[in-house]
Chain A
Amino acid sequence: MSSKNRILLLIIGSVILLAGIFAILNLGNHATSDDPPQSIMLYCAASNRAVMESIREDYEQEFGRKVDIQYGPSQTLLSSIEVTRSGDLFLPADDSYLDMARDKQLVAEVVPIARMQAVVAIKRNNPKSIEQFSDLLRDEVRLVMASPDTAAIGKVVREVLSADGQWELIESSVTASRATVNEVANDVAIGAADAGIVYDAVLNTYDDLEYIELPELADAASQISVGVIASTDQPQAALHFARYLSARDRGLKHYAEFGFRTRGGDTWSDVPELSIFAGSMLRPAIEDTIAAFEKREGIKVNRVYNGCGILVAQMKAGQHPDAYFACDSEFMNQVHDLFPEPVPVSQNELVILVQKGNPKNIRSLRDLTRKDLRVGIGHEKQCAMGWVTQNTFRESGIQQEVMPNVTVQSPTGDMLVNQLLTGSLDTAVAYLSNAAGASESLDAIRIQDISCSVATQPWAVAEESKYPELAGRLFQQICSQSSQGIFAAEGFRWQLDANKGE
């Protein structure tokens, strides 16, 4: 064959070969593009691969929804998300990367999963007899640890040991500093080091290694959480998998098997139903937020709005919601056994509501004692407002005189507003938030110098709730900036530090 023909043959051959390769690769590609449209893409730290693969397998089997997982170093994954703005979920090696992602507004919800504890990895049977912190400082012990500048564990350990003034000691004893925690474990596994400071969960896949826990490192722990990528176009599906990951009877079981420390977590439900009890006055402030939360999470929130006294009675009668948003702390205190950790969220001011233009010329609480007035107040047993009103009357010394004028005691402030609007009352004592939607027809007169006229609204998640994490996420939404704006528009004064709610 002439060289000319041979070259021609090779050119044609290479074209055919290349076309064949692309065809084969594309065939595989089509197999994935025919997947159900709701497949999820998760950016996952490579260190979580073993546990994630087992969870993925179960999830895909249970729901038939495919999960594409992209593994890599956390920082690399974060950079990829930043550049491509693609994907649904981000699960880094520890939640410091999620803080970074949140600062860059790359991540919306953050769902906690498991914890990892800093420990000292050693060869099985402890050939170097390393038992306490001082053993790490011995000359013959080759100690490696991850760099505080590149790895989360290094950073955490530095913070904890610096607080004890022991960081310099350990730093001077380190034989080598590695980029990742896995490199440290690998060093100990292959015998390049005698001891290494690692996360306990990392060692689960190392058969030849064991670990010792040191009191000096007791506070050095990292949290693993999964974040929903803010730009996802399928938050429901993403959150469905995030809930699965963090469910105590699903994902957390796997995490525990793989050596991670798990605590709490929600009970798994495909479409969980969260029940919320809330004082009636809070309805306009939280209803839209809850509806949006329901839609985004793909869950159901059963909310019961009523006077807080009635709600407390219902709870004492055996109804136990997942969370309670009370009109005043007094009512939360009455169910303290169910809600041990209430958080004060907002405040609402008691005011005197009158018809527009104040035709009866009411200026203060004292004026409510006038004989010609029909006064409406809240029921002191059925709602927080009534209870606060009675306290306020008592404090101002008019309780005896005003009660004969009280025409009606309603379980909610909204009813008082309606009665005022229909003209069946001349005035009512209600919350400023009750009148927020009726400012065209009603005026509000401030009650001066009576501190108890201000009610504080606390939020708490029930101790026995099946969905504490889900309820916690709802609370995060209630604490969001947009929600705070609604509270302000409805006459509430925000009390909780925004950061505490997050």
Chain B
Amino acid sequence: MTSEVEPSVTVTTKKGLAVRRRRSDVPFFFVMSAISALFVLLIVLLLAADILFTSFSDFTAALAKPEIQVAFRLTMLSCTAAAILSIWVATPLGYLLSRYRFPGRWMIDTLVDIPIVLPPLVLGLSLLILFHLPVGGWELEAWLRDSVGFPVTYRWPAVVLAQFSVACAFAVRTMRVTFDQIDPRAEDVARTLGCTRAQAFMQIAIPQAWRGMIAATTIAWARALGEFGPILVFAGATRMRTEVLSTTVFLELSVGQLDAAVAVSLLMVAMAVIVLLVLRVLGTGLTA
């Protein structure tokens, strides 16, 4: 920021104008900072209010509950699984949407965004219907349960799938923007030098998209953490089995346990901060 506050060296011929510019910079940064600070302050105040509402003993008591510990474990595992799955799917899909013009591209582009705009409960209901819709006597859930031995609805796979459905949509959007910003020329040059498309993708595009991938993983993980509606409908909120922290907050609120709800909320904030920081450090380095 300091390097940008030194434009006065360019003003040499009209002294009065130079003075006006130096004067105008202060209110400019003041207004900009004040507006920015308002939002940052709002977030800080929200967290402060949460911290003031609960006490340390309430916080530790809530976290000592075995069901909340199980929910914490499931949240960490399912969010990470959803984020990894999202980046696997989002990288090739984002690349294809960014690099190629093919028939029906606009439709795929629109479809991919649907989980973002769809009300969360609708997404959960859609997943539920998908797994239980009888088609000529055959039902996906029944087949998975009886033939494959892998029931999904109201089990942990439903949690991961519900989180993945939304998280992946955000990751695809991020990866697409990432590849849009990378000049395809380097890949074209690699191909003229004998690389296949796959080699150009793996050796040229992916290394350049590195930070975008970290950003997409970060967004996917964060979205998965905040996911609530689809999980409640598709995976349920069965204690010690499909309860994640977001559903814990809902359950605690439902019985008036505001202290516990706030404690779990703060735990989620702490988790999000730690995970997001780690991912940011991985992707951009500490100084960024």
Task: Tally B residues with Cβ within 8 Å of A.
Answer: 41
On whether the beta carbons of B132 and A84 are closer than 8 Å, the reply is: yes
A29 touches B156 (CB 8 A): yes
Fill in one digit per residue for B102-121: 1 if any A CB lies within 8 Å of its CB, else 0: 00000000000000000001
B250 adjacent to chain A (CB < 8 Å)? yes
Residues of A within 8 A of B77 (CB): 21, 24-25
Q: Mark B227-252, 1 if CB is under 8 A from A, else 0.
A: 00000110011110100000000110
Interface string of B45-77 (1 = CB under 8 A from A): 000000001000000000000000000001001
Once the chains are docked, how many angstroms separate the CA of A468 from the CA of B205? 75
Bitwise, B142-158 to A at CB < 8 A (1) or not (0) is 00000000000111110
**Considering the complex, which residues of chain A in the window 16-30 have a beta carbon less than 8 Å from any beta carbon of chain B?**
17-18, 21-22, 24-26, 28-29
Check A72 for interface membership: any CB of B closer than 8 A: yes
Are B237 and A18 in touch, CB under 8 angstroms?
no
> Smallest distance from the beta carbon of A391 to chain B beta carbons, Å?
59
Contacts of B176-208 to chain A: CB distance below 8 A: 202-203, 206-207
A494 interface contact, C-beta 8 A:
no
Cβ of B17 within 8 Å of any chain A Cβ, yes or no, is no
Q: Tell me, in angstroms, the Cα distance from A7 to B208 when the chains sit together.
A: 11
Interface string of A78-90 (1 = CB under 8 A from B): 0110011110000
Question: Does A488 lie at the interface of the complex (its beta carbon under 8 Å from any beta carbon of B)?
Answer: no
Q: Give the contacting residue for A79; candidates B125, B155, B207; CB below 8 A.
A: B125
B266 at the interface (CB under 8 A from A): no
Does residue B129 face the partner (Cβ distance < 8 Å to A)? yes
Is residue B33 within 8 Å, beta carbon to beta carbon, of the partner chain?
no
Segment of A47-55, A311-319, A341-349, A470-478 in the binding face: A47-55
In contact, B250 and A46 (Cβ under 8 angstroms): yes
Q: How far is the CA of A22 from the CA of B160 in the complex (A)?
A: 10
- In the complex, whether A76 has a CB less than 8 A from a CB of chain B is yes
The verdict on A104 contacting chain B, using a C-beta distance below 8 Å, is no
Contacts of B232 in A (CB 8 A): 72, 76
Return chain B residues, CB-CB under 8 Å to A53. Answer: 239
Please name the residue on chain B nearest to A258 by beta carbon. Answer: B255
A70 at the binding interface (Cβ < 8 Å): yes
| Chief secondary structure at chain A's binding surface | helix
Tell me the smallest distance from the CB of B64 to a CB of chain A, in Å: 16
Taken together as a complex, chains A and B put the C-alpha atoms of A24 and B85 apart, in Å, by: 16
Is the Cβ of B155 less than 8 Å from the Cβ of A29? yes
Contacts of B125 in A (CB 8 A): 79, 83
Q: Are B202 and A4 in contact (CB under 8 A)?
A: yes
Whether B272 sits at the interface, judged by CB under 8 Å, is no
Q: Is B256 an interface residue (CB 8 A)?
A: yes
Q: Which residue of B lies closest to A182 (CB)?
A: B254
Q: How large is the interface on A (under 10, 10 to 19, 20 to 34, 35 or more residues)?
A: 35 or more
A70 touches B237 (CB 8 A): yes
The reply to whether B239 and A69 form a contact with Cβ atoms under 8 Å apart is yes
Q: Tell me the bound Cα distance from A185 to B84 in angstroms.
A: 40
A293 close to B (CB within 8 Å): no
**Known pairs A25-B156, A72-B236, A76-B121; A14 contacts B88 (CB<8 A):** yes
A358 within 8 A of B: no
Interface residues of A in 133-186 (CB under 8 A from B): 182, 185-186
B132 neighbours in A (Cβ, 8 Å): 83-85
Decide: A21 and B81 in contact? CB cutoff 8 A.
yes
B218 within 8 A of A: no
Cβ of B253 under 8 Å from chain A: yes
Contact B256 A202 (CB under 8 A): yes
Residue in B80, B129, B153, B255 whose beta carbon sits within 8 Å of that of A205 in the complex: B255
Known contacts being A22-B81, A202-B256, is A83 close to B156, with CB within 8 Å?
no
Q: Which of B255-286 contact A (CB under 8 A)?
A: 255-258
B237/A72 in contact, CB under 8 A: yes
Question: How far, in angstroms, from A28 to B84 measured CA to CA in the complex?
Answer: 21
Query: How far, in angstroms, from A83 to B88 measured CA to CA in the complex?
Result: 31
Q: Does B128 contact A (CB under 8 A)?
A: yes
Of the candidates A21, A32, A49, A204, which one forms a contact with B251 in the assembled complex, judged by CB atoms under 8 Å apart? A49
Say which residue of A26, A70, A182, A203 sits within 8 Å of B253 (CB atoms).
A182
CB closest residue in chain B, given A198: B256
Q: Chain A residue with minimal CB distance to B80?
A: A21
| CB 8 Å contact bits of A246-279 with B (1 = contact, 0 = none) | 0000000000000000000000000000000000
Q: Which A-B residue pairs are the 8 nearest by beta carbons? A: A46-B254, A205-B256, A70-B236, A3-B207, A206-B256, A25-B156, A21-B81, A50-B255
15 pairs of residues in contact across A and B, judged by CB atoms under 8 Å: A18-B81, A18-B85, A25-B74, A25-B77, A25-B157, A41-B154, A46-B250, A49-B251, A49-B255, A50-B255, A70-B237, A71-B239, A84-B132, A85-B132, A86-B154
